[in-house]
Structure formats: structure tokens, C-alpha cells
């Protein structure tokens, strides 16, 4: 019997909403967050971290940043350090999201530095990988994900400070997802790869999230997969009822 991994459902609010909406969404999520079969994480825009932290109060919902710089501090206009996120109450930070990789030219080496910075600040790094549509069409999905994993996970990686999300770029915000069989195949391969690189115990314990157009309708099938330990949710995380419905769909993991 393998390790029981408690699922994590993470909401990536991206650059959406305003101050009032962020507070209201956090309050609604907090109100519905008791007795969930998983851990819950919300990642609001950085400027709203404080207000969201206040609205979450003692609900037991974790807070995360959407990105951090790889350095501890210094002359990096517009950037935010992992330590600053920790100061705002964050326990997590997303690094290597495909939108950061595309919009800001972040490569695996940079993602690795960011994950290292997160670990140094005591945060859990939620490291994202995933192939583009063109890479998938060329039959290179597994190869691309393997290469991103190899380049993005620092030596400081452990199951207590790292979560990995597989997010095929072509599935993000499109309403399209791989089939459950395809998701399971790639997650299984990812677990094997990180077992090789970071040890069997890590491979057994690390939580592998699926992200890309997860909604209450498709969550049950995706979350039931043996090597899927939760979801990284974008659009559907902006509606508390949808986000909580996805979180409730992870219940059967308890018996895995
Ligand atoms: P989506 O975004 O759920 O809107 O597809 C997921 C993500 O980018 O993390």
C-alpha cells in the first residue's frame, strides 16, 4: 500500500478582480471551507494578499503568491521576494506557471532559482510544468515535461516544501482537457522521474496536481486518478461555489 497523500486544491486568481471582489471571494471560500477532504490554497494578486489574509482569518485556508523573485532582495523594480510573501502570511508560492514562462521569458533555470528562494524563505514551491499545443501535436509532451522537471526542481526539493502541477498550456483557460487516461499516464511518468531524481520517498509523497480547465463537471474523473493529488484551478477558482465543489470532489482520495 502506498502513501496516502492529502489532496490540495489551489486557486490561482491570476490578474483578476478588484479589492472588494477579492475580499468577498476570500470570505465566501472561508465560509465553505470546513470539513473539506483536502487542503485548500488561494493565490490572489500580490497587492491583495493582506486583505485576503484578513478575510480568510482562521479558516485554515492557505495563502500563496503567484510568483516570486529568485533573489532575497535588492534592485529588482516591481518584483516581490519570497520573504515578503511569507511576511504577508503566505505558505506557498506558484513558480514556473506557463503564463510567467511565456509573458516574462522565464526558463527552467530561473524557475529553479525561484523555487530555491521559496524554500529559503520557508515557503512551499508549487512548481508548474506542461507542454504547449504544438509540442503535444508533435508527440513531445512527455519529453517536454521531463525536461522541465529536470531543470526546474532545485536540490532543496522535498515533499514538505514542494508541490508539482502538470498544466498543459493548451488546456489552460480553453475548456479543453486531456483525457483522464492521458493525465494519469503523464502523472505516472512524472512520479517515476522525480523518484529517480529526488528519491523514492519523495516520489511516493509529493503531491502532483493537474491544472487546465478544471471545473466542477470534470473534477470527479480527474481527481479520481491514482497519481493526481489535487488541482490547480484558474477560472473556476474565481467563483467560490465552483472552487468548493471541486474541493469536495477530492473526497475519495481519503481511501486511496
Ligand atoms: P484554468 O487555469 O483553470 O483557467 O484553465 C489554470 C491555471 O492556469 O492555473
Per residue in 209-251, pLDDT (tens digit) is: 999 999 999 999 999 999 999 999 999 999 999 999 999 988 6
Query: Residue 235 carries which DSSP code?
Result: G
Please give the share of the chain, as a percent, with pLDDT higher than 90: 94
pTM: 0.97
- The stretch 37-46 carries a mean pLDDT of 97
pLDDT in tens, 150-181: 999 999 999 999 999 999 999 999 999 999 99
253: pLDDT strictly greater than 80? no
Measured from the Cα of 211, ligand 1's closest atom is: 6
195: pLDDT strictly greater than 60? yes
Q: Cα–Cα distance between 104 and 29 in angstroms, integer?
A: 30
- The residues that are catalytic are 97, 167
Ligand 1 atom 7 nearest Cα = 234
Q: Cα–Cα distance between 102 and 93 in angstroms, integer?
A: 18
- Domains, the chain: 22-172+183-242 (3.20.20.70)
256: pLDDT strictly greater than 80? no
With both helix axes pointing from N to C terminus, report the angle between 141-152 and 180-198 in degrees, rounded to the nearest 10.
40
Alpha-helical (H) ranges within the chain are 19-31, 49-56, 82-87, 98-103, 108-120, 133-137, 141-152, 180-198, 200-205, 219-223, 240-248
| Max CA distance (Å), the chain | 50
Give the binding-site residues of ligand 1, using a 6 Å CB cut-off: 12, 167, 172-173, 211-214, 232-236
To which residue does cell 499545443 refer? 133
254: pLDDT strictly greater than 50? no
> What's the pLDDT band for 59 if we cut at 50, 70, 90?
very high
Query: The C-alpha cell of 160 is what?
Result: 514538505
97: pLDDT strictly greater than 90? yes
Distance from Cα 212 to the centre of ligand 1, integer Å:
5
> What's the pLDDT band for 255 if we cut at 50, 70, 90?
very low
pLDDT in tens, 117-152: 999 999 999 999 999 999 999 999 999 999 999 999
Query: The C-alpha cell of 189 is what?
Result: 511518468
Please give the share of the chain, as a percent, with pLDDT higher than 70: 97
Amino acid at each position: 500500500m502506498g502513501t496516502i497523500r492529502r489532496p490540495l486544491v489551489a486557486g490561482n486568481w491570476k490578474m483578476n478582480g478588484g479589492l472588494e471582489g477579492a475580499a468577498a471571494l476570500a470570505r465566501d471560500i472561508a465560509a465553505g471551507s470546513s470539513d473539506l477532504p483536502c487542503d485548500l490554497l488561494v493565490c490572489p494578486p500580490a497587492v491583495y494578499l493582506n486583505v485576503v489574509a484578513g478575510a480568510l482569518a482562521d479558516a485554515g485556508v492557505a495563502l500563496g503568491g503567484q510568483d516570486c523573485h529568485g533573489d532575497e532582495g535588492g534592485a529588482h523594480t516591481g518584483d516581490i521576494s519570497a520573504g515578503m510573501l511569507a511576511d504577508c502570511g503566505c505558505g506557498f508560492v506558484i513558480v514556473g506557471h506557463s503564463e510567467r514562462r511565456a509573458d516574462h521569458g522565464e526558463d527552467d533555470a530561473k524557475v529553479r532559482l525561484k523555487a530555491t528562494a521559496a524554500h529559503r524563505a520557508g515557503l512551499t514551491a508549487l512548481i508548474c510544468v506542461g507542454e504547449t499545443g504544438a509540442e503535444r501535436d508533435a508527440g513531445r509532451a512527455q519529453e517536454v515535461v521531463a525536461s522541465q522537471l529536470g531543470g526546474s526542481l532545485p536540490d532543496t526539493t522535498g515533499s514538505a516544501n514542494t508541490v508539482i502541477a502538470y498544466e498543459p498550456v493548451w488546456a489552460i483557460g480553453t475548456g479543453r482537457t486531456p483525457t483522464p487516461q492521458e493525465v494519469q499516464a503523464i502523472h505516472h511518468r512524472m512520479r517515476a522521474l522525480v523518484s529517480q531524481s529526488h528519491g523514492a520517498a519523495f516520489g511516493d509523497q509529493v503531491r502532483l496536481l493537474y491544472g487546465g480547465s478544471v471545473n466542477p463537471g470534470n473534477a470527479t474523473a480527474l481527481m479520481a486518478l491514482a497519481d493526481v493529488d489535487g488541482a490547480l484551478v484558474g477560472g473556476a477558482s474565481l467563483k467560490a461555489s465552483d472552487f468548493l465543489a471541486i474541493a469536495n470532489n477530492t473526497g475519495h482520495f481519503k481511501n486511496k
